[in-house]
Amino acid sequence: MDQDVHRCKGMKDMLPDDMALFRHIEQTFRNLCQKWGYREIRTPVVEYLHLFTASGTLTPSKLGQTYSFLDWDGWSGERVVLRPDSTIPTARLYVDNLDGMGKARLCYVHNVFTFEPSGLENREKWQCGAEFIGGTGPLADAEIVLMAVDILKTLGIKNIEIQISHAGLIKTLLGEIEKDPAKQAELFDNILDGKLEDLKIEKGSELDRVLNLLLGSSGKSEGFLKNLESITYPILPAIGPAMENFIQIAELLSPVKGHFQFNLASGRGFEYYTGMMLQFNSGGVRIGGGGRYDDLFPLINSQVVPACGFALYLDTLTGMVKPPSSKGDSSQAIAVYPREPTRELIGAGFELCRLLRDEGFTAYLEPTEEEAQKSHRSISVRSKNGTMVFSLREKSGRPEKIFVTTDNLVGELAKVV
């Protein structure tokens, strides 16, 4: 029996126009990363499962959505996964290859895989990410925020909103609620997953008041954080260092015109975050995230290495970005064809295509006028009294133009493209 062939559920085909937009975003990201001093890396799609389970580098809910299988090697096969995250493999790459070199500004364009039961959402997602490994303090945190904003603005993203939270503040607060480290980790997971109802605190207590202030309010400047500190610090002095770090980050970002909002309850991400946590949004749609993760490296058998980073969601951005038209765009392709199928005219056609491609145009040879005129522009090649004559015709219906030199032809194309 014949069986219909379809793509796997939750996966996506990318057609030529999709790929053109994908490459535009990818190249814009790479170019700006290079200007900020970041160098590109690539990690394997398959990693060992224990890299992600080590001391809880991922929340249980996220681990439950990984694609895992046995990598058979005789009887000693280990369980491996399709990477569900890019930061942890990047940290592993640093430990394996770059440990001891100090600061490393790294960037990548990776696909990650997360099982989504309905199959209505993509199970393979693409990220443009940057990690500042060895970057310490508020200055490094501000760098990755501003770099991400630079990339988004260059891509033409409008209405950029940046929600900034702080894992250090949340963990300090949890230390007052629950003394058992295992329970603290569980509560932190719940907060990151948005389950605030599991925080059992006596209603009306001073700790309950601090909790409501920290998780129930938001502001747009360092002044908001300073006011919050003045109210909560006398009740809970332990939050002092984390709050001071949060304020310093806000002060570095204050001169930059943008839509920053400081909101502890906006923290969504991975439990390895230790300081600032980020969400990038546009028009209410989440387009990226990131944060500081100073405690991640010891979890993967390394010394303590401060680090921070972000990832932009390439799949989401493709619905918001319009690629600029260019003379190399295949939709603006130029089809060249010989008026007669002679060796001389075909050779001249191939040579013209080469010259056009050298000038940055998309050009190819078609065998007939009928096929060539399906393209945006077509150029016929004929010989008149021993001279090659080129006739440029636009699909838009503009009058045909005749040229006897390729220089004049290329000059005319440069004007209209």
Is residue 269 predicted with pLDDT exceeding 60?
no
Taking CA 59 as the corner, what is the angle to CA 281 and CA 55, rounded to the nearest 5 degrees?
A: 130
For range 54-77, the mean pLDDT: 75
For range 397-407, the mean pLDDT: 84
Q: Virtual CA dihedral for 137, 141, 147, 152, nearest 10 degrees?
A: 180
Is residue 51 predicted with pLDDT exceeding 80?
yes
Is residue 73 predicted with pLDDT exceeding 80?
no
**Is the pTM here over 0.85, yes or no?**
no
39-40 vs 46-48, strand pairing mode: unpaired
Is residue 157 predicted with pLDDT exceeding 90?
yes
Contacts of range 343-348, beta carbons closer than 8 Å, 24 or more positions apart: 344/383, 345/381, 345/382, 345/383, 348/381, 348/383, 348/388
Query: Quick one: pLDDT band at residue 199, thresholds 50, 70, 90?
Result: low
For range 272-280, the mean pLDDT: 90
Neighbours of 122 (CB within 10 A): 17
For range 320-335, the mean pLDDT: 74
CA separation for the pair 294, 306 (Å, rounded) = 4
For residue 63, the model assigns a pLDDT of 80
Query: Quick one: pLDDT band at residue 54, thresholds 50, 70, 90?
Result: confident
For residue 56, the model assigns a pLDDT of 63
Classify residue 134 as exposed, middle or buried by CB count within 10 Å of its CB (0-12, 13-18, 19+). middle
Query: Quick one: pLDDT band at residue 76, thresholds 50, 70, 90?
Result: low
Q: Which residues contact 173 (CB under 8 A, 6 or more apart)?
A: 210, 211, 214, 236, 239
For residue 246, the model assigns a pLDDT of 92
For range 306-326, the mean pLDDT: 90
For residue 313, the model assigns a pLDDT of 97
Is residue 359 predicted with pLDDT exceeding 70?
yes
For range 274-297, the mean pLDDT: 93
For residue 2, the model assigns a pLDDT of 60
Residue in the block written with tokens 């399906």: 374
For residue 191, the model assigns a pLDDT of 65
For residue 363, the model assigns a pLDDT of 92
For residue 329, the model assigns a pLDDT of 60
Query: Can you list the domains of the chain with their CATH numbers?
Result: 16-317 (3.30.930.10), 330-416 (3.40.50.800)
Is residue 242 predicted with pLDDT exceeding 60?
yes
Neighbours of 92 (CB within 10 A): 21
